[in-house]
Amino acid sequence: MERLKQAIRERGNVLSSEVLKVDTFLNHQVDVELMGAVGEEFARLFKDDGVTKVLTIESSGIAPSFMAATNLNTPLIFARKKKSLTMNENVYVSQVYSFTKRETNDITVSKDFITAEDTVLIIDDFLANGQAALGLIDIVNQAGAKVAGLGIVIEKSFQDGRKRLEEEGYRIESLARIHELEAGRVTFIDELVTNNN
């Protein structure tokens, strides 16, 4: 998605060879127009897959998921990272190791909101090693529901999340795929030129 790649190039901040900061349009301040376009693209990609629920993880997954769910005409559910006091024991729980925070957290979703009849589209802001995605898949599996696929805003293709998920047979649609973060610069997979010289 060209518009997204342009935002990453112009408004992203390469913190290291592993971490990209996108606080300007996704992770803190939200560019609602861009996130609207991102959500529309996810909805277009999964429109024929019988999606009944969109599932993400708080908080940065919510913005890109919102317009996807709006366009697919489904509810949006976000997994909670901290158990709310108003949540009873009626929850699915999975453990997720956070790439950016370097800690393991339980994520929870109420059993009221995903059932065996559901086909679930999972959306997240980043795909790195696939831990968040695997935790969300685990929750869908606990519910006996079907995973339609994964919609990722920014995939860091040099980490092994995609490989892990593809090995398990899941469909992944990433709107921007990063080959490398190097010297403050982002290179996307589709910009690589084959040079045989």
Give the residue ranges of the annotated binding site for 5-phospho-alpha-D-ribose 1-diphosphate. 128-132
CA distance 165 to 172: 8
Among 64, 130, 149, 151, binds ligand 5GP (CB under 6 A): 130
Q: With 0-12 CB in 10 A as exposed, 13-18 as middle and 19+ as buried, what is 51?
A: buried
Tokens matching residue 139: 């929750």
Strand 76-79 relative to strand 53-57, pairing:
parallel
Give whichever of 9 and 47 is closer to ligand 5GP, judged by the CB atom.
9
Dihedral (Cα; 54, 162, 187, 32), 10-degree rounding: 10
161 touching ligand 5GP, by CB under 6 A: yes
Collect contacts of 185-189 with beta carbons under 8 A, ≥24 apart: 185/14, 186/8, 186/9, 186/12, 186/14, 186/20, 188/5, 189/157
CB of 181 to ligand 5GP, least distance (A): 8
Among 1, 11, 19, 49, binds ligand 5GP (CB under 6 A): 19
126 touching ligand 5GP, by CB under 6 A: yes
Contact string (CB under 6 A) for ligand 5GP, positions 76-105, x = contact: -----------------------xx-----
Among 31, 41, 118, 125, binds ligand 5GP (CB under 6 A): 125
What does the binding site for ligand 5GP look like in residue numbers (CB under 6 A)? 19-22, 27, 60, 99-100, 124-133, 161
